[in-house]
Each structure stands twice: as structure tokens, then as C-alpha cells.
Structure 1
Amino acid sequence: MNYIYLLINLAVIFFPLVLSFDKKVHFFGKWKFVLPAILLTGIVFLIWDLLFVKLNVWSFNPDYITGFKLAGLPIEEILFFLTVPYACIFIYECLNAYFPANTLQKYSLALSNLFLGLCIAILFFGYSRWYTLINFGFLFLVLMYVEYVNVEFRFMYKFYRAYLVSLIPFYVVNGFLTAIPVVIYSDKEILGMRVGTIPFEDHFYLMSLLLMNVFLYEWFKGRAVK
């Protein structure tokens, strides 16, 4: 039972890793951009994770982790920031390769503005809760930067499509993590709205995690072209 979180991590990355050698996507050839994006994003989110453990925003059920820790975090939680971003960037690249036509292009700015407005509204009502405050505050800053400061390359229309598709495995993985539960949330630090057992905030945690990874991935690719 104490290998559950580790097995979930392995399941998340198994198919994306095996299929990375698909000739059309040629994902393994992009590892030199994927890995630094995951590393830099992982540092930010691991600091965030450590802070949340200290603030008792969430904790890890000892019955479902191996007990090996690094810097106070279960090794499985550290692996999470490798396996999930890898799988999500893989989804992003597969969609771009197999479905290059994307009708979201003309709606992406409107979607970003909608999410920016949602961030402001939720921060207004939920600023007293740590997870809500940091989660939506961080998403607001990243979205603002990507849409209104970054002018070198535009990718949000591709990002939103990948995010929507990533929600499918998200519900499976986070459903297990929160239903068993492997990760235990403090009700005092979340809004209290859930989709099944998944806190509402987790949907936007995924968005922040994926957005930062994809932005850095595209940035590293752009640097290589230049």
C-alpha cells in the first residue's frame, strides 16, 4: 500500500515516455527543451510545496508513500513535478503535430481575460485561504506576463487546447490522490468547493503548472532557433 503514490507517478509517465519515439511527434528529440523547462518550473513549485507543508495547507498520508523524503518532501511528490509536466508537454506536442489546425487561436486572448477576471474575483473572496491566495495570485501573474508582456511568441491558443485535454488524465490521477486519499487538504485553506473529491483550486494549480512549463519549453525552443 505504501507504494501507491509511486505507482501513480509511474503510470502517469509510462505511455508518454514509451510514445516519445513516435516519428511524427519526435518528442525525444525535444528533450533538450523539455527537461530545463521542467527543472526550472519544478524548483518554483517545490518551494511552493514546501511552504504549503509548513503552513499545513496539505499533508501526505503515510500509508501510501514509501517514507523516503528529500528536503522534507516525499520522493513521490518530487517525482510528481517531473512525471505530470512531462506527460502534459507530451500531450501539447502531440496535439500540435496531429491537429495543426486550431480554432482556439481567435479566442485565446478572450479566454485569458476571462481567467484573469476569475482570478481577481476569487482572490477578492478567498484571499484569507493560503491555497486559494497563492494559487490564483500566481496564475494571475503568469497569465498577465504571457499575454501582455511576452511579445516574442504566441502559443496560448495551443496551450488552452492542451490544457482541456490534460483535464482528462487530471481527473483520473487527482481523483485517486484525493479520494484514497494520498494528499490530505486542510479545509481551512481552500474554498471548500470540490469536483468529486478534487478541490476546485487544483484545476487552476494544473493550469499554472502546465502554463509555466509550456512557456519555458517554447522559450527554450525559440532560443535554439535564434
Structure 2
Amino acid sequence: MKQYTYLLVNFLAVVICFIFSFHPKIRFDKFFVPFIKSATLVLVPFIIWDAWFTKMGVWWFNDDYLIGVRLLGLPLEEWLFFICIPFSCVFTFYCLDKFFNLDWRQQTDLYFCLVIAVSCLVLAIVNRDLIYPFITFLVTALSLLYLKFMAKVSWIGKASLIYAMLLPGFFMVNGVLTGTGLDQPIVNYTTGHYMGIRIGTIPVEDAVYGYTMILWNVFFFKKFARDTFSEPALT
């Protein structure tokens, strides 16, 4: 059963949200197609990034916890991770956005975006000799600047707040992947490629990596869902 561990982590991360997608007051199932479109679009660059770092030895996967199927050098479970985690996060964003007013004032949203983007740029420069934080902080900064000033979205602060609310769940899932409760980590990080700062067993860069991935999933999901249904909660 040990080889099904990563698969089980993915399943447990998504199953409750999937079941509640069919709740009559939520009906997120109507948005499965927009979600699949957005998740697939975001998956492509993140899989390339993941495969690149795996090939470079920035991180590697413990075969003891995997079923053994690999695509582009990545375990099948890692591919599923980029579907299951975004699904739960986008589902949560949709529900909270539908039932609660979490909108930020535009000026507050702008200042927040600028502060986070500049902070990430500074951290990228400071850690320019470490590929994982350098690429992660740089991509995050550029993503924020593009979304705010080119795409002109108004929901970065709201999405960031919801992501912060999801962090306990993120730490549970990623904690298991990085070794919490296991004899060995499923995902291992090579010293010299990351800052070495961990929250429990989780490299701090992982939280930023996940943040960027979710921002792009929300961006494309809102676009595809709005184009399909003109849903008021997605305006």
C-alpha cells in the first residue's frame, strides 16, 4: 500500500470539494469544463518548470511512495497534483466569492499587489544564486505585475486572502509530501538549490510557488467561466 501514498494524498485533497461541487446551492459542477480548461492551461508551464527542476536535481521523488508511472520524468501523481490542488482552491474561491463579499478597495488591492511584487523581486535578487527561490520569487513578481497592470484584474487581494485561509490545508498536504508523518519524504529537495528555510518540513518557497499557481488558475477560470455562463459571482 505504501506505493499509493502520493495518490492517496491527491485523492484526499480533492474528494470533499468534489462531492460538495454537486450541492444544489453551489453547483460548481456546472463549471467543470471552465475549470478543466484553466487547469490544463496553467498545468503546461508548471509541468515544464517541474520537469526542468527535476532533471536538474533541484528536487526528486521517492519511488517507494509512487505507483511507478512517469511522464516527462515526473510521476503520474505529480501531474494529478496540478489538477487536484487547483480544483480544491478554485472551488473554495468560487464558494467564498459566491456567498461572501470579500472584495477589497481598488487602492488597497493595488498597494497590496505592489508591496508583494516588490518584495518578491527583492527576494529574487537576494537569492539569485539559488535557483528555486530566484525563479519562484521572480515568476511570482512578474505574474502579479502582469495580472494587475496588463490584465487589470481587481481580485488579487481577495484571492490572496482566500489563499491565506487555505494555507493550513496546504501545509497538511505539502507536509505529508515533504515527510511529515512518513519514514521518508515523497518529494526531496537538494541542499544548495533552495534557501533552507522550512515551515515544519515544507520549504518556504513551496508556499510562494503554490500561490502563483493558484493566481493563474483563478485568472483563467474566471475568464472561461464568465465567457461560458456570465455568472454574476465571477464578474
Question: TM-score, with normalisation over the residues of structure 2?
Answer: 0.91
* Unmatched tracts of structure 1, length 5 or more: none
Q: Which has the higher helix share?
A: 1
**Kept in 2: contact 1:16–1:90 (CA 8 A):** yes
**Kept in 2: contact 1:105–1:157 (CA 8 A):** no
Deviations 1:104-142 (A, max 9, x none): 445322221121121111111101111112111111111
Say what the alpha-carbon RMSD is for the aligned residues: 1.5
2:203 to 199, 205, 219: 199
Deviations 1:116-175 (A, max 9, x none): 121111111101111112111111111011111113x42223312221122121010011
Q: Check 1:104–1:168 CA distance in 2 against 1; reply closer, same or farther (3 A cut).
A: farther
Paired position in structure 2 for 1:215: 219
Look up the SS of the partner of 2:21 in the other structure.
helix
Amino acid across the alignment from 2:168? I
Tell me the percent identity: 32
**Kept in 2: contact 1:104–1:161 (CA 8 A):** no
Cα displacement (A) at 1:222 = 3.4
Paired position in structure 2 for 1:69: 70
- 1-structure distance, mates of 2:84, 2:105: 28
Deviations 1:29-88 (A, max 9, x none): 111211100000011110001000111000001111111111211000010001000010
Paired position in structure 2 for 1:167: 167
Paired position in structure 1 for 2:15: 14
Paired position in structure 1 for 2:188: 184
Alignment of 1:100-119 (within 5 A): 101-102=101-102, 104-106=104-106, 107-119=108-120
Equivalent residues, number: 224
Alignment of 1:124-135 (within 5 A): 124-135=125-136
Look up the SS of the partner of 2:25 in the other structure.
coil
**Kept in 1: contact 2:4–2:67 (CA 8 A):** yes
Amino acid across the alignment from 1:63? D
Amino acid across the alignment from 2:201? T
**Kept in 2: contact 1:41–1:213 (CA 8 A):** yes
Look up the SS of the partner of 1:23 in the other structure.
coil
Cα displacement (A) at 1:25 = 2.1
Alignment of 1:51-70 (within 5 A): 51-70=52-71
Cα displacement (A) at 1:188 = 0.8
Question: TM-score, with normalisation over the residues of structure 1?
Answer: 0.94
